[in-house]
Amino acid sequence: MTPPAGDRDPAHTPVRPVRVLLCDDHAVVRAGLLALLSSAHGIEVIGEAGDGEEAVALAAALRPDVVLMDLQLGSGIDGIEATRRIAGLPEREAEGAAERDDEREAGRADRRDVEREAGRADGRDVERDAAGRGAAGRGATGRGAPHVLVLTTYDTDADINRAIEAGATGYLLKAERPEELFSAIRAAAAGRSTLSAPVAHRVLAQMRSPRPGLTDRELDILGQLARGLSNREIARALFISEATVKTHLGRIYDKLGVDTRAGAVSVAKEQRLLP
């Protein structure tokens, strides 16, 4: 006889592992992550992608719970754009994944049906059942877009801001300990955000003393500066006076926290402000 809901032992209730898709353009890195995650309890790698386009396609087809995303992916779209596309995947049923989940949970589903028909499932059982299906099914059954957890070596303000704005759930640096990575993956699967300590520090610093962004005109001048043009040449190219160029340069220096032309170009490249 099936035991009443209140008599079940939670320790013996099967828990579906967190399904992870890896995206990194270096095969050696993917192999290392695969070996590392294979040692983690409750985490299963279901696919690998070597570029952004492949990651988006696999995320749509496999509906993982979490996509572990690098930012620099060689040719094609970068990790930011891949994150944006994955976060924007429409909510739909992924039939293959749904069928696999149905097979794995067939016994439990049948048992719940019998209990409901016999009148033994009370309100608390229904709530626990719905919550469990929602947490376990998000991603794998296509009820929502997969969560993207950025794993990268880049920790500039621009990278962090762009990733978060694109829809990343968390942002980790590759220097993190394995236990921190495992914890972040589980948190991301549950929809909770995780930031590496240096990343969290930068985010807080931005919030406490935000720097104003560059205007379109300042970005134009910065682009000309990166080409090695002099103030006079920039003025001619943009049809403005040389004095106006100097005024804009002073503002650019202040906003980027630099005091030289070379410094402005260097920071602009670091923060990916240049096309």
**CATH number of the structural domain spanning residue 29:** 3.40.50.2300
**How many domains does the chain contain in total?**
2
Mean predicted confidence (pLDDT) in 245-272: 88
**What one-character DSSP code corresponds to residue 173?**
E
Cα 129 to Cα 11, 94, 142, 189: the distances in Å are: 16, 21, 18, 18
Would 187 be classed as within a structural domain? yes
What does the pLDDT read at residue 142? 43
Regarding predicted confidence, which is higher, 2 or 170? Answer: 170
Mean pLDDT, the chain, integer = 81
Q: Pseudo-torsion of CA 256, 262, 267, 269, nearest 10°?
A: 140
**Location of structure tokens 């134009």:** 220
Residue 210's identity, in one-letter code, is P
In this structure, the answer to whether residues 223 and 194 fall within a common structural domain is no
Cβ-contact 86, 146 below 8 angstroms? yes
37 and 47 Cβ atoms separated by less than 8 Å: no
Whether residue 133 is contained in a domain is answered as no
- pLDDT of residue 160 exceeding 80, the answer is yes
Same domain, 179 and 227: no
Clarify whether residues 198 and 240 are in a common domain: no
Residue 20 β-bridge partners: 45, 66
Whether residue 134 is predicted with pLDDT greater than 50 in this model: the reply is no
pLDDT bin (cut points 50, 70, 90) of residue 106 is very low
Q: What angle do CA 238, 275, 273 make, to 5 degrees?
A: 90
Looking at the fold, whether 150 and 76 belong to one and the same domain comes out as: yes
185 domain residue, yes or no: yes
Q: Provide φ and ψ at 44, rounded to 5°.
A: -130, 125
Q: What is the pLDDT of residue 105?
A: 46
The answer to whether residue 242 sits within a structural domain is: yes
Angle, helix 157-166 to helix 197-208, in steps of 10 degrees: 90
Task: Enumerate the H helices of 119-260 as residue ranges.
Answer: 123-137, 157-166, 178-189, 197-208, 216-226, 231-238, 242-256
Give domain status of residue 200, yes or no: yes
Task: Say if residue 165 is in the same domain as residue 73.
Answer: yes
Instruction: Pick the range with the lowest mean pLDDT from 80-89, 95-104, 218-227.
Output: 95-104
- Do 18 and 74 lie in a common domain? yes
> Interhelix angle for 242-256 vs 231-238, to 10°?
110
134 within domain boundaries: no
| Structural domain span for residue 244 | 216-270
| Mean pLDDT on 147-170 | 90
